[in-house]
């Protein structure tokens, strides 16, 4: 049931239009529906999404703060094109955060939190086997976000929220779905066994794999041959 300025969801929970619009645009960008360089015009988006221009303007500001779009004058924005330098910076920060996160998960998990992490992993493995890229990448992002929650560190959660959209963007550049899912499975097993040294080694390998897959994706997108 819809209402003025937003919509009602799940037994009376109200969702403002601006939240719905930012979620829709974020998903479109991260799932590749709106590729890098796409022009986002307030008026056109308002018509497309059936809302006024105010929630669209608010959504574009939010996405700019998340690093997914670049605002332009005269009520429009462009989907950000991440450079090789941007990706290198992201992987450096990711490496440090994930090492801390998964070490804490190995030390602090309980049976219930481990079941949640396993559920995300099973979803990713099933999607990867089916070749469902959107579903697999979203499940991979859920796996990382669940791990951050299990780590039990409020500052890590805050940093994870700042990094969330960029991390989902990075995962969207991974074309070898099965390889990523298999690495998550190994990481899960090490976490479940509280094997901190193995967790550290697997996180380091996982970040290297991510960097390689992202580089291959970007190179292929640019029309070049596969790097050696």
Domain count, the chain: 2
| Residue 175 banded pLDDT, cuts 50, 70, 90 | confident
Residue 207 included in any domain: yes
* pLDDT for the residue 8: 38
Q: Specify the range with the lowest mean pLDDT, choosing from 17-26, 130-139, 216-225.
A: 216-225
Residue 226 included in any domain: no
Whole domain around residue 39: which residue ranges? 2-79
CATH of the domain at 63: 1.10.10.10
Residue 151 included in any domain: yes
Q: How far apart are CA 180 and CA 205, in angstroms?
A: 11
- Of 79, 98, 127, the one marking the end of a domain is 79
Task: Judge if 71 and 88 occupy the same domain.
Answer: no
Residue 49 included in any domain: yes
Task: Judge if 118 and 207 occupy the same domain.
Answer: yes
CATH of the domain at 210: 1.20.120.530
Residue 40 included in any domain: yes
Q: How far apart are CA 115 and CA 68, in angstroms?
A: 32
Please list, in sequence order, all residues whose beta carbon lies within 8 angstroms of the beta carbon of residue 127, skipping any fewer than 6 positions away. Answer: 135, 136, 139, 177, 181
Residue (of 167, 157, 155, 147) closest to 102 by Cα position: 147
Residue (of 131, 137, 114, 125) closest to 189 by Cα position: 114
Residue 228 included in any domain: no
Task: Judge if 32 and 131 occupy the same domain.
Answer: no
Residue 199 included in any domain: yes
- Of 62, 79, 96, the one marking the end of a domain is 79
More confident site: 31 or 25: 25
| Residue 3 banded pLDDT, cuts 50, 70, 90 | very low
């Amino acid at each position: 049931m819809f209402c003025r300025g937003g919509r009602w969801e799940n037994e009376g929970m109200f969702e403002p239009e601006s939240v719905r619009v930012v979620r829709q645009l974020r998903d479109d960008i991260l799932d590749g529906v709106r590729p890098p360089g796409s022009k986002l015009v307030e008026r056109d988006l308002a018509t497309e999404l059936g809302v006024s221009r105010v929630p669209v303007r608010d959504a574009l500001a939010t996405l700019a703060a998340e690093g997914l779009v670049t605002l332009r004058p005269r009520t429009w924005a462009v989907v950000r094109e991440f450079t090789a330098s941007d990706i290198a910076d992201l992987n450096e920060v990711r490496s440090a955060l994930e090492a801390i996160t998964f070490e804490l998960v190995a030390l602090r998990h309980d049976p219930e939190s481990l079941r949640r992490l396993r559920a995300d992993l099973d979803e990713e493995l099933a999607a990867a086997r089916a070749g469902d890229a959107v579903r697999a990448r979203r499940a991979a992002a859920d796996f990382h976000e669940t791990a951050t929650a299990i780590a039990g560190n409020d500052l890590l959660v805050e940093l994870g929220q700042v990094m969330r959209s960029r991390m989902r963007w990075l995962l969207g550049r991974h074309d070898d779905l099965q390889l990523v899912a298999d690495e998550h499975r190994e990481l899960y097993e090490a976490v479940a066994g509280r094997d901190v040294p193995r967790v550290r080694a697997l996180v380091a390998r996982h970040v290297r794999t991510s960097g390689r897959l992202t580089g291959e994706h970007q190179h292929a997108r640019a029309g070049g041959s596969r790097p050696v």
